[in-house]
Structure 1
């Protein structure tokens, strides 16, 4: 979509996001607002700028979840001891604004369950075991063209108490700051072809199949590593410099 410098604001599509009150997603009911939202006034300078990440100290394996939880990352070819269990994958893509303009040097964070579907979190009581060599979190900065990349294992699906037999599809949570505080996006990437996607109560809160498709990582054989990792591309689109500053529903 070409940038129109004659238009100051681009209106947000209100049909894109799910309704605040969605009884099918039970844990969201208590969190949904019961009163009308309050519109904010013109954004402040702090909302339009920063944070600035170019001086953020990154570890050598921050974006490599195969190595970043090992006591001694060392060289990977020293054997399989200490490597996480599961299907090795690459997750990559570009961070752009709504006009396709790349967002360079912005922070992308991700977190996920292990290959058995369990998070390394003290409140996760799923019976699948923890992987002693997998922490489940990573971060990186986009390059000058907005590209990011992680290496990890494909997470497993897991049950959750939304219904009698409700399962979450395999997914990876993603947070990206974008060009400013007010453009931060938190979403999740599902995997192409997963039969649990259309029956997930969270996914069903979306009225647009096109919106659902934006949350699905696509298998990319061209960026896969033979005899090693499959690759999934997941582009992240944040609100651009002509965004309209309203609340998300």
Structure 2
């Protein structure tokens, strides 16, 4: 995942997607992150060109969203009640590698509650559940690739990786762009969290710049006074490259 700041009008996509940058992403095998030992490939990777099913993808419409899917403070709450914790707004743009906005991308999020506990039967952390917080939501980017949702800042929590390992406060993201090759699953951390440099998962990333791009920045210009602070988090999906035409290296 990479960030981008330059914006331009959406253009018609053509050609396959850029290949994954293996030097940018963390190594699949990272022994200090224990579950990667079992999950990582045991043999050399094979490279294949993009197929039609990868360069075309899911089409999402606004009619698939519920009225409160973008508001995790209320979408699981009883009438007249709301989730407990620090209210925040998370917003930003979804771009491709050429800094072009990705419109109509489905952005799904899930997270722990303010105490650091997930609404999942296998979560063994002793923090209490919030009966008014479900911990998941979704939005679709607009024509400029912009998204926004309201939620509760999640709490950190311990996990059985090491003797005393804790996950930083984070929100999980799943994105679907214009093709299946633009699928991205990532996590967003919060500016100033001291757990970030200690986390074994974060430490699988070798490039400090890449880690910084996973950290949402406090954005006081988009806060709602007396209600919610705001954090800015831009995400970048794989861009496209035009099909080569004879000797025209710039594409067709």
| TM-score scaled by length of structure 2 | 0.87
- The corresponding residue for 1:75 is none
1:142-168 C-alpha deviation (Å, 9 max, x unpaired): 001000011000000000011111100
Alpha-carbon deviation of 1:11? 5.5
Pick from 10, 16, 22 the counterpart of residue 30 of structure 2: 22
Q: How much does 1:43 deviate? A: 2.0
CA distance in 2, matches of 1:65, 1:185: 21
1:78 maps to none
Residues 76-102 of structure 1: CA distance to partner in whole angstroms, max 9, x if unpaired? xxxxx5211100000011000011100
Q: Which residue number in structure 2 is paired with residue 60 of structure 1? A: 67
The CA RMSD over aligned residues, in Å, is: 2.1
**What's the secondary structure of 2:121's corresponding residue?**
coil
Q: Which runs of 5 or more residues in structure 2 are unaligned?
A: 9-14, 244-252
For residues 219-244 of structure 1, give each alpha carbon's deviation from its aligned partner in whole angstroms, at most 9, with x where no partner exists: 00000111110000000100011299
The answer on 1:97 being equivalent to 2:72 is no
CA contact (8 A) 1:20 1:33 kept: yes
Distance 1:44 1:205 in 2: 30
1:129 aligns with 2:128: yes
1:35 is matched with which residue? 43
- Runs of at least 4 residues of structure 1 off by over 4 A? 7-12
- Name the SS of the counterpart of 2:53 in structure 1: helix
**Partner of 1:212: helix, strand, or coil?**
helix
Give 1:209's aligned residue: 208
Equivalent residues, number:
232
TM-score, length of structure 1 as denominator length: 0.88
- Counting only pairs closer than 5 Å after superposition, residues 221-236 of structure 1 correspond to structure 2 as 221-236=220-235
Q: SS of the counterpart of 2:50?
A: coil
